[in-house]
Structure 1
Amino acid sequence: MKRLVPTLLVSSALLIGAGTAQAALPDAATLYKNPQCGCCDEYARQLEALGVEVAIVDDVPIGQVKERVGLPYGLGSCHTIEMGEYVIEGHVPFAAVERLFEEQPDTDGIGLAGMPIGTPGMPGPKQDDWNVYQFRAGEAQPYMTL
């Protein structure tokens, strides 16, 4: 019995911790994209599966959105998301998005340049490391590699 109580306490703590990563995400997001881009729609569906309501906007010039949010030149992707106080650029894996909202660093957002195969919304198996960057005032720095 003496071993059971600590085991139950540790197990309970782990279960509570497992639920907080998802709970840390905001309830809503706005995804800006080109109307013809299906992979953006798939990313939105996967984000909704995590409990985030996604409003899709496909009738604005996407380049102007990227400029407005301060995205570093040359590091864009097919869609831009405003979520909470942050910007998520492209097919960023959800582990990086969850980490962003757990840690809440002093940054404008995170991104993943291009449209890497195997990321959320992009079909196929992962082929290379995904180098997620963070940015502030148009300047990028490494954030994490997955």
Structure 2
Amino acid sequence: MRATFEQNAEFIALAAREARDEAQRLLARLEVLIAGLAAKDSAAGLELRRAAVEFLVAAGDQQPALRGEGRLSVVPARPGDRAAERLGELESTILEIVEGEEGGMHVDAVFELLGEMGVEMTKGNLSVKLHRMIKAGRLVSTARGYYGLSSMERARRMAS
């Protein structure tokens, strides 16, 4: 017997729900592991959390989000949502913040200024964003925890 189009669509929807449920179960386990590691070594716990967020972002159609007190969750990306636009705005804001600081600006200061501007994000997510901006050539790390404009970005801003 051949399945109808509706039966195939129902099966695909069921498989997608099962995949999301399994991802949530795995993230719950990961949250427990991160909490346990953070209790023993907070730096290692933070690093594992950052790695998990980077992995979720790299997964493609999933965006990481933080639930409650720094807990990870998976939020399906919606085509046509403003995520890319918001990321571009966030990058521009970060670049404007660090532009005037020749020796770079500490991540904590950037985090505080973003908070004052009404941008809601965790320090972990900000660190991930800053590292991605380094990889893209827009920022450089001037010292541990300090970020400044790259020479390429500085030249681009002077030209415009």
Scaled by the length of structure 2, what TM-score is found? 0.29
Give the structure with higher Rg (CA).
2
More helix per residue: 2
Scaled by the length of structure 1, what TM-score is found? 0.31
Higher relative CO (CA 8 A, sep ≥ 6), structure 1 or 2? Answer: 1
More strand per residue: 1
